[in-house]
Amino acid sequence: MILTCPHCGFSRELDPESLPDKPVKVTCPRCSQVFEHSPVNAPPTSAPLVAGQKVAHRGGPASLAGAAEQPKAGFWVRVVAALVDMFLVSGVQLILTFLLSMSISALGEGEHTLRIMPIAQLFSTVVGITYYVFFTGYCGQTPGKMAVRVKVIHTDSAPIGYGRAFFREVLGKFVSALLLGLGYLMVAFDTQKQGLHDKIADTYVVKL
């Protein structure tokens, strides 16, 4: 049986016995759209593809479509996305840090003024972490990734979630940067276009 996503045309051949005998909702691994597959109403050789969904199987759970088969985002596309995000984050950090500094300065002179720089730096770091973790955990896409149409997914096609997003964006990228940026350069040479932070968090960056 061939399941085809009516939204983007992505298709995959599956054993009919691996599909449940009742309607199920699945998510297309390429365009992330959710469709309902009904074995009663769907044609025998074509049906909407549900991507990232795990369905019941006689021998255990089976993934409808493998994340490893999806087209991966290359190094330069990810660089463009990173530059867009850097520009946006820097603007937000600048504005919010300025407002925080003005608020602290308004409290008085002396010891209050001396505290502005470390507090402003910490605040700026928190803003940056929140930006990347929130967007990646919420939908797998920061605004920069949305602009170039790429998305972070788990290697089993499941959504990222905030926990894994924090692990990837904070701990994983810290290690990638700590190695003189070699963790990021791995994207250009790895067969699955994974940076070190992707391998640490078990994620792919795929094209939409």
* Residues contacting 16, CB < 8 A, separation 6+: 1
The stretches in the chain having pLDDT less than 50 are 41-65, 110
Query: For residue 66, what pLDDT is reported?
Result: 64
Query: For residue 17, what pLDDT is reported?
Result: 67
Q: Residue 147: how many CA atoms within 13 Å on its side-chain side?
A: 14
Span 68-116, pLDDT tens digits: 778 999 999 999 999 999 999 999 888 887 777 777 666 655 455 556 6
Task: Report in angstroms the alpha-carbon separations of 168 from 107, 125, 162, 176, 200.
Answer: 38, 16, 10, 10, 7
Q: What are the residue ranges spanned by the domains of the chain? A: 2-65, 75-207
Radius of gyration in angstroms for the set of CA atoms belonging to the chain, rounded to a whole number: 22
For a pLDDT cut of 90, what percent of the chain falls above it? 42
Contact between residue 45 and residue 5 where contact means Cβ atoms under 8 Å apart: no
Assessment of whether the complete model's pTM goes beyond 0.85: no
Query: For residue 85, what pLDDT is reported?
Result: 95
Query: For residue 28, what pLDDT is reported?
Result: 74
